[in-house]
Structure formats: C-alpha cells, structure tokens
Amino acid sequence: MDKFETLKSKVIPLPMTDIDTDLIIPAQFLTSISREGFGQNLFRRLRDGDPNFPFNLDKFKGAAVLVAGNNFGCGSSREHAVWALTGAGIKVVIAPSFADIFFSNSAKNGLVLVTLTEAQNNRLLAEAQAGELEVTVDLQAQTVTLPSAEVFNFDFDPFRKHCILNGLDDIDYILSHKEKIETFRAGQVAGPDCTKVGK
C-alpha cells in the first residue's frame, strides 16, 4: 500500500447522495478477484450516454479528489468499489458521511475518506461545479485547504492514520510487530513456571 501524507489536486464534484457500491462499480464488471482493471469501469452506468457526467469531462482529468453527498459507499460490502476508485486515480473522497463497511474497506486499501460538515461539503461542491477547484489534503494535520487559504479540519481514526501515513495494510502492520508477536507466543508455549507457585 502506498504512503499518503499530503495531496494537492483538482476536485471532481459529484453532488449525489446515497451513491452505492453498485453505482461505483456495477456487478457485471466484478469478474476478477485481482485489484487491477476496475478503474476503467468506475461509475460506468452513470458515465455511459452522459457526456456531461464529471468523469467524462476533460477538465476533471487527472483529479484525485472526489467530493460527493451523504452516505457514500452504501449497499453491498464489495471491496471492488474501493479498487475501482483507486484504479481511476482517486486518492481522497470527501463527503458528510460514509457507509460503515465502505469506510473500513477504504482504510484497508489506503483510500483516504474525509468527513466534513454539510456546509463545508456543499461549499466544495459549489466551487468545484462553478470552476476548477484545487484543494490540499494534509492527513498528518487533518486539514483540507482551499485556494483562499481557508482551512477545513477533519477527524481521522489514529490507528488508520498511522497505517496510511506509513503505507501499511493490515498484514503489513502485523508483520511490523512480528518480533513482539513471536516473543509473546514463545512465552505462551513455555507456560508459567509452576515450581514457583506459593513461594
């Protein structure tokens, strides 16, 4: 998993609520358990036939920050939704709220989810729709900075923050504590010294 510290990027606005995982990556494209190749079909049902859909517009190409409405990532628990977003170059999703399972899947795959207030989120959506908006997302400081130098603060789980800043998925994190785990297991196997009981 790649490390994430600070990102400066254009914003893609998607002013929709309850964007579920089937909209993010339709079921017919879930033909592989590999993480590769899903980005090309991100929001396929919304993109097809709508030349003005944000992901079809040249002005948003290369953008790595997506701003959407409430309850982003609801629906099934498919991890492919996260893979589709990251495969399309999205590194940060900003919304007022996220579905719990999607939130967990994102953290495990290094996709940064930023929760802002409704007012802050609507501000980003409005500015991104009005013209090209570029923001800076700083995970260490837990801030989103606008071109005006206005700063929005956000909360982030300390454990997941540590993992994403250091590029650690769950397995990497466990392996980073391999020595402590082996020491603990050795003690468990050896068991207590019963000869010292009562002395």
Structure confidence by residue, pLDDT tens digits, 57-77: 999 999 999 999 999 999 988
- Does residue 113 register a pLDDT over 60? yes
Angstrom CA distances, 81 to 56, 70, 129, 183, 186, stand at 19, 17, 24, 38, 40
pTM of the model: 0.85
Note the pLDDT of residue 73. 97
* 6-190: CATH class: alpha beta
User: Tokens 């929001």 map to which residue?
Assistant: 43
- Does residue 171 register a pLDDT over 90? no
